[in-house]
Amino acid sequence: MISDQFTLSCPVPLSNNSRIALAHGGGGRLTNRLIDEIFGKLLSNPALDERHDGASLLLPAGTGRIAMSTDSFVVNPLFFPGGDIGTLAVNGTVNDLAMCGARPLWLSCGAILEEGVQTTLVRRIVESISVAAKEAGVQVVTGDTKVVDRGKGDGVYLNTTGVGVIESTHHIGPAEVSEGDAIIVSGDIGRHGIAIMAVREGLEFETTIESDCAPLWKPVQSLLASGIDVHCLRDLTRGGLSSALCEIAEIRKMGIRVVQPNIPVREDVQGACEILGLDPMYVANEGRFVAFVAKSDAEKTLAVLRAYPNCADAAIIGTVGSVDGQGRVIMRSTIGVDRIVDMLSGEQLPRIC
């Protein structure tokens, strides 16, 4: 229901006899409610409460800071143009660490295999993990395999948890987002979700749309090294660009304004979205992030990012407004009309990562 996406929904508590729906895993409002009301409430501590892509942790005796982030991967299908569950499992977690300003160093890998899955398929996936880990400069240092009965899994599920070091003393996170910040997206949006949906729905386009799945630490490292005043970074996975913007706006209770024609979307992706009835603003990416930087550093940020082929289409897409207590995201559309961008309330694309 596209119309749902643009309705400001009033958060209704999870009732006691409710059941988990696919939409609770979609990265939108229901996911947030599940996290708020169960995981966030019962496990609360300062690191978890920050609600960032990963936790920033001070080592005992002040010996430095590390970042830690986890993701499970249940993507369907396991293989898709531009990657597979293995590349996704490495880049997804490595990118969450990068969003904390941390240099990714180590990954764990937990595999839940379904009885009957071919070992050659498992091998192909682990080969992808190996290649992606080398590219991202991380080592898989600890692992675990479990097997579940046939019909209690779906081939292969993975979990990766990453640990990285935070070398800068400059804190990066939603709390640092400030009035006037420029909002920069690192490249065109929507490719990962469309690549998955095309396979799942058996759609063929003139050219194959490949996932944008890629590691993001190098461009992030360059941003930090070049002295740019980076306030917050967030990768655009489940729920897409909209969810990232809505989350930040909500946490800070600040308005955000973005300009639709400035948001890069490839023509083939736009066309596929129209066929599938999807809005690219809500489609998941696996190699894209949004940066909130001091206004005066906006052009410099673009220049640094564009030096990376994966960020060649980086663009300034909007600005952060004042604290208004509402935390709305407003988008000026291509025809010059303002509309509210809300967090996805239902499920647009299940099992995208």
Which 66-95 positions form the footprint of a copy of itself (CB under 8 A)? Answer: 66, 68-74
Nearer to a copy of itself, 157 or 289 (CB): 157
Report 100-129 residues binding a copy of itself (CB under 8 A): 105-106, 108-120, 122-123, 126-127, 129
Selected from 5, 31, 87, 211, the binder of a copy of itself by CB under 8 A is 31
CA atoms of 150 and 105, how far apart (whole Å)? 35
Which residues neighbour 179 within 8 Å (Cβ) at sequence distance 6 or greater? Answer: 254, 320, 321, 322, 323
CA angle 340, 341, 343 (to 5 degrees): 130
Nearest approach in angstroms of CB 51 to a copy of itself is 10
Compute the CA torsion angle 75, 79, 81, 84 (nearest 10 deg).
70
Nearer to a copy of itself, 19 or 206 (CB): 19
Asked if 190 contacts 280 with a C-beta cutoff of 8 angstroms, the reply is yes
The reply on whether position 225 binds a copy of itself by CB under 8 A is no
Nearest approach in angstroms of CB 307 to a copy of itself is 25
Nearest approach in angstroms of CB 95 to a copy of itself is 13
Compute the CA torsion angle 112, 116, 120, 123 (nearest 10 deg).
10
Selected from 6, 57, 171, 210, the binder of a copy of itself by CB under 8 A is 57
- What's the first-to-final CA gap in the chain, in angstroms? 21
Quickly list DSSP for 183-247.
Answer: EEE-S---HHHHHHHHHHHT---SSPPPP-----HHHHHHHHHTT--EEEEEE--TTHHHHHHHH
- For residue 251, the SS3 value is helix
Report 228-247 residues binding a copy of itself (CB under 8 A): none
Selected from 2, 39, 312, 333, the binder of a copy of itself by CB under 8 A is 39
Report 127-166 residues binding a copy of itself (CB under 8 A): 127, 129-130, 133, 139-149, 151-154, 157, 159, 161, 163, 165
H or E stretch including 86? helix 85-99
Tokens standing for residue 199: 């396979």
The reply on whether position 35 binds a copy of itself by CB under 8 A is yes
Report 291-320 residues binding a copy of itself (CB under 8 A): none
Nearest approach in angstroms of CB 99 to a copy of itself is 12
CA angle 52, 306, 259 (to 5 degrees): 65
Asked if 94 contacts 171 with a C-beta cutoff of 8 angstroms, the reply is no
Closest CA to 259 of 313, 183, 343: 183
Nearer to a copy of itself, 24 or 328 (CB): 24
Nearer to a copy of itself, 47 or 340 (CB): 47
Site string for a copy of itself, 159-198 (x = CB under 8 A): x-x-x-x---------------------------------
Selected from 55, 245, 290, 349, the binder of a copy of itself by CB under 8 A is 55
The reply on whether position 24 binds a copy of itself by CB under 8 A is yes
